[in-house]
Amino acid sequence: MKDKFYEYILNLQDRITSKLEAIDGTAKFREDLWKRAEGGGGRTRVIENGAVFEKGGVNISAVHGALPKSMQNYFGVKDADFFACGLSLVLHPKSPMIPTVHANWRYFEMYDEQGKIVDQWFGGGQDLTPYYLFDEDAAHFHTVCKKACDKYDSDFYPTYKKKCDDYFWNTHRNEARGVGGLFFDYCKATGKKSMHNWYDFVTEVGDSFLEAYVPIVEKRKNISFNEEQRAWQEIRRGRYVEFNLVHDKGTLFGLKTNGRIESILMSLPPHVQWRYDHHPEKGSEEERLLHILKKPKDWA
């Protein structure tokens, strides 16, 4: 399973980066191959200062070795070995009219002293963070997510949509990071679903990513914007940074397992603002966004 999924994310990375380069038309992804001293490594691809994408990363990693003490405590296990691989991406467009997008699809195995698999699961999801909210864009993104889920189980979309709303919640701000999408974790073999069933589902979601995001970018990339709108984008990016550094499990896992810092922190945007006690003008589009982020909405 780990070899099968790793081959899948290698191919998916190629498909996604090729499409994004074509959309941008100017910038190309820079590739870094890296190794982890304890075992494994990855292929990081970053795009910067493009016509459409100000900064973005589409990264894959496959790491293995002894489970660090901090993660042993987290999982409630003693000495164990692990394998983890996944693709993680974040795209920060230049225009505040195009939303930031995040996606991640991952697989994990844990082994006993004899090298036997004692636990394994899939996780992942994709979510949208707009700065100026076009309702039809949020509806499109969620509809594609729902279509991918419905092929496998009609309960998946409402369940994983709620998990996404709950997970990407900036508790210290009492607001959502964005308009959500899907979030699933610890997808394990049960009486009803095998690991092969979960593989089919997770790869279906991965394959749906470009369909969910690209039409939004194409529709919004030529809309003009002013300096005030750009400043609002940078203020909202600050909330994105806060979530990733305070709450995000993937970031914390990478930091606690001696991951590659440049790859882990590639999710952070290049230009951000934190203004003291900032409030948007009443009745503005900026205020409408904040109002919607206070309570998750059924977009699909």
pLDDT in tens, 222-266: 999 999 999 999 999 999 999 999 999 888 877 877 778 888 888
Measured at the alpha carbon of residue 293, what is the angle toward residues 289 and 298, in degrees to the nearest 5? Answer: 105
pLDDT bracket for residue 142 (50, 70, 90): very high
Could you tell me what percent of the chain has a pLDDT over 90?
83
pLDDT of residue 113: 81
CA distance 238 to 247: 14
CA distance 80 to 59: 26
CA distance 140 to 222: 19
Q: Which residues participate in catalysis according to the annotation?
A: 102
pLDDT bracket for residue 158 (50, 70, 90): very high
Find where tokens 């997808």 sit: 187
Reading phi first (left if > 0) and then psi (alpha if -120 to 50, else beta), residue 112 is in beta
Pairing of strands 40-48, 30-35: antiparallel
pLDDT of residue 114: 84
Using the predicted structure, report yes or no on whether residue 73 has a pLDDT greater than 80. no
Q: How far is C-alpha 188 from the chain's CA centre?
A: 20
Task: Tell me which H or E stretch contains 205.
Answer: helix 195-220
Using the predicted structure, report yes or no on whether residue 80 has a pLDDT greater than 90. no
CA distance 100 to 213: 10
Q: 2-293 is classed in which CATH architecture?
A: 3-Layer(aba) Sandwich (3.40)
pTM of the model: 0.94
Identity of residue 2: K
Q: Which two tokens stand for residue 172?
A: 């210290």
Mean pLDDT over 52-80 rounds to: 85
Q: Which two tokens stand for residue 68?
A: 């660090």
CA distance 95 to 227: 11
pLDDT of residue 103: 98
pLDDT of residue 132: 98
HSE-up (13 A, CA, CB side) for residue 239: 23
pLDDT bracket for residue 10 (50, 70, 90): very high
Using the predicted structure, report yes or no on whether residue 155 has a pLDDT greater than 90. yes
| DSSP secondary structure of 119-173 | EEEEEEEEEEE-SS--HHHHHHHHHHHHHHHHTT-TTHHHHHHHHHHHHTEETTT
CA distance 248 to 170: 10
Burial class (CB in 10 A: 0-12, 13-18, 19+), 228: exposed
With a CB cutoff of 8 Å and minimum separation 6, the contacts of 206 are: 8, 9, 12, 87, 103, 105, 124
